Amino acid sequence: MTKTFSYFAYGSNLLTDRIKLNNPSAKLKTIGRVSDYALAFDYYSRRWQGAAATIVPSEGSEVWGVVWELSEHDKRTLDKQEGVGSGIYRPIEVSVKTKEDFILPCRAYQLIALEEQDKRPSKVYKDVIIRGAEEHGLPHDYIEKLRMIEDNGYDGPVTIKLPLA
């Protein structure tokens, strides 16, 4: 039997086609939310041409996302995708309250390479996040909150493989 782990995605990996580009074992487990964290954008990503998403402690806030089940083999590719070896993100464990009201320990990633540049995501990156949120039926008010995030207007090519719109 293949060993697996649960991964909480809140950014571009919300979108099935995006996570499966590098992590073919990913299987949708459920959706859920992490309490006392907020979605934030920091660290200018040249790949995305805008600020990358992270979660930061914020009492009373919550971040919705998707819980994926991945094979242990894909942990290495997921870490590489998230820039763990480059010091961009670090893996953390979060407690996800699932839509079924279970608490599930999950791996997530948090930015550690913070910069004082423009903290707005590119339009193309924000679009991938919103498409993933819609695909998995995250709450309507949360999707509207994502739509309200100010982006930097960049909608051109990015140096990352993207699923077609």
8 is in an annotated binding site: yes
165 is in an annotated binding site: no
89 is in an annotated binding site: no
53 is in an annotated binding site: no
- Residue 144 is among the residues annotated as catalytic for this protein: no
Exposure string (b/e) for 64-83, b if CB count within 10 Å is 16 or more?
Answer: bbbbbebbeebbebbbebbb
In the 8-state DSSP scheme, what is residue 49?
A: T
10 is in an annotated binding site: yes
From the list 62, 69, 82, 135, the catalytic residue is 82
41 is in an annotated binding site: no
Count of other CB atoms within 10 angstroms of residue 159: 9
12 is in an annotated binding site: yes
Between CA 38 and CA 56 the distance in angstroms is 5
* Bridge partners of residue 97, in order along the sequence: 33, 103
The two structure tokens encoding residue 80 = 């590489």
* Bridge partners of residue 34, in order along the sequence: 63
Binding residues: 7-12, 125
Binding residues for substrate: 7-12, 125
- Catalytic positions, please? 82
